[in-house]
Amino acid sequence: MFEAAELGREISKSDYKAQLPDLRAEILQTQFALSKSNRPVIILISGVDVAGRGDVVNALNEWLDTRGVETFSFEKTSDEESERPDYWRYWRSLPARGRIGVFFGAWYVEPIRNYAYDKIDAACMDDSLGQIRRLEKLMVDDGTIIIKFWLHLSHKEQVKRLKKMEKDPNALRRVSKRDWKHVKLYDRFSAAAERAIRSTDTGDSPWLLVESTDPYYRDLTVGRTVLETIRKQLELDAINDSDNSSDNASKELTTSTQTSNLDTTDSSPKAALTVLDHVDLNQKLEPKEYRKQLKIYQGKLNRLVWAANAKKRSTVIVFEGWDAGGKGGSLRRMTQAMDARLYQVISTAAPTDEEQAHHYLWRFWRQIPRAGHFTIYDRSWYGRVLVERVEGYAKEHEWTRSFLEINNFEESLVNHGTLLLKFWIHISPEEQLRRFEEREKIAYKRHKLTEEDWRNREKWDAYKIAVNDMVARTSTNYAPWTLVAGNDKKFARIQVIKTVCKRMEAILYS
């Protein structure tokens, strides 16, 4: 999950300074509109230690009109508070309609910390998260806009900051023993945070992962997200209101405010980085080495497949990737090594009538393998958050809630004991073009290239963002994504089959 927030996104100081005045003006304008509305706003700032939660809150307080904001840090529980039910302290702090509450961590702090400290088990953690979902649902149902930020730092960056703070006599806060203890528990905290985020990342109150190494990027991203989330909701409300009153004048007003001068981040290319930009596409395998490794891993896979069958462990493998990325080739190199009775390949194309008449996950549930068997999906349920999102086949509220639905679905597979592997085969747009042109030339490959492929190609950037969100929200510790470097087909094929062998070995002989 957090790999999507370790991409080196940054904004230069001069860009930051250039963008700030507009942002601030628009934030104030939107806050004024909010104050006339009947919606409370909760901005929840969570994240790893020393990621700058306090700095972000300070920035927000500087940018917002303080008369409409309150900040709550929920430090130690007072006796007043401990004598009441757990959530009493949060209820008393909820902002009124038209006002903004900025919350430090709030209801996420204790479950994450206690789980990382091993003070509570998974069941108890999930119980707390269930309570959180109910609380947030109750607030959203009542009109509250909830904006949840997770400020992320890599382990390395965290250590670097603490060391720098220790050396700096003027640092604003002292480094404590607890800080170093937390650094040691980095992986445990990560796992706890992932669990919390995954199970509370609902369509109504989604999480936003913010890469926090560069403070300019961090603060600007938070500010812009706050602005856009509130503005979008108020605009929707205005449209609904004007629909109800059928008042054309106000309708026009709404649409005119939708054109904003803040949508462009193009000025700073580094801020638009995605997880795909970190795949090293130069990786290659020489033909000889390829043939050697293929032989080794196909043999290994064959043995593992029979072992899994004997142990009645089933496996689900998902292939996603760019058109002409080489999904089929990688898939075949695997199935060559498998007994035909043990696997089934599902090529996911446009849904049938019957499939269309059911929930989008239904067609995939149907194909779940029996004990000891394999189902390999050539494209999958991730179509919901890729093609359906980019092409607008699914509405925004539909695909945003899919992340949680997909995580729940995959969790039930894994809980049943199924091994789940997910591959995104990545290639560069140049390599894709080369392959398209090649297909056009070679007669027996020509059928593989359609008009649609050319159309999809034009939406490369939109797909990149969709892939990034997909990885950020569905790469879980029990079902991580593997991003495969696909420019060299041979390298990609070995990466896939090797990964499958490794994960199977780990699950069968642990």
At position 194, the amino acid (one-letter code) is: E
Which window, 52-60, 85-93, 445-453, 499-507, contacts its own copies (CB under 8 A)? 85-93
Instruction: Give, rounded to a whole angstrom, the gap between the first and last alpha carbons of the chain.
Output: 24
Looking at 119, 164, 332, 370, which residue binds its own copies (CB under 8 A)? 370
Stretch that binds its own copies, among 168-176, 363-371, 387-395, 496-504 (CB under 8 A): 363-371
Helix (H, G, I), strand (E, B), or coil: what is residue 472? helix
357 belongs to the binding site for its own copies (CB under 8 A)? yes
Residue that the structure tokens 């905290």 belong to = 189
Taking CB under 8 A as the rule, does residue 119 contact its own copies? no
Which position among 119, 358, 395, 459 is part of the footprint of its own copies (CB under 8 A)?
Answer: 358
* Cβ pair 56, 219 in contact under 8 A: yes
Among the listed residues 13, 17, 84, 119, the single contact to its own copies using CB under 8 A: 84
The neighbouring-strand residues paired with 485 are 426
Contact in structure between 460 and 429 (CB atoms under 8 Å): yes
CA distance 115 to 192: 6
Among candidates 259, 255, 267, which has minimal Cα distance to 220? 267
Contact partners, residue 175, CB within 8 Å, separation at least 6: 162, 165, 166
Question: How many residues line the site for its own copies (CB under 8 A)?
Answer: 51
Closer residue to its own copies, CB minimum distance, 136 or 431 = 136
**Three-state SS for 69?**
strand
Q: Show the binding pattern over residues 293-312: x = contacts its own copies (CB under 8 A), - = does not.
A: -------------------x
Give the closest residue to 365 by CA, choosing from 416, 400, 295. 416
Dihedral angle, C-alpha 476, 477, 482, 483, nearest 10 °: 60
**Contact string (CB under 8 A) for its own copies, positions 401-420, x = contact:** x---x--x---xx-xx-x--
Given the DSSP bridges, would you call strands 100-104 and 41-47 parallel, antiparallel or unpaired? parallel
Q: Helix (H, G, I), strand (E, B), or coil: what is residue 101?
A: strand
| Footprint on residues 217-246 left by its own copies (CB under 8 A) | 243
Angle at 151 (CA atoms; ends 150, 153), nearest 5 degrees:
130
State which of residues 54, 68, 98, 328 lies at the interface with its own copies (CB under 8 A).
Answer: 98
Q: Pick the stretch among 66-74, 263-271, 365-373, 429-437 that binds its own copies (CB under 8 A).
A: 365-373
* Shortest distance (Å) from residue 84 CB to its own copies: 5
Residue 40 touches its own copies, criterion: CB under 8 A: yes
Q: Which stretch binds its own copies (CB under 8 A): 178-186, 355-363, 419-427, 501-509?
A: 355-363
As a three-state string, the secondary structure of 350-361 is CCCHHHHCCCCC
Task: Single out the residue of 166, 252, 354, 396 in contact with its own copies (rule: CB under 8 A).
Answer: 354
Mark residues 122-161: x for contact with its own copies by CB under 8 A, - for none: -xx-xx--xx--x---xx-xx-x-----------------
Binding site for its own copies (CB under 8 A): 40, 80, 83-88, 91-92, 94, 96-99, 123-124, 126-127, 130-131, 134, 138-139, 141-142, 144, 243, 312, 314, 354, 357-362, 365-366, 368, 370-371, 398, 401, 405, 408, 412-413, 415-416, 418
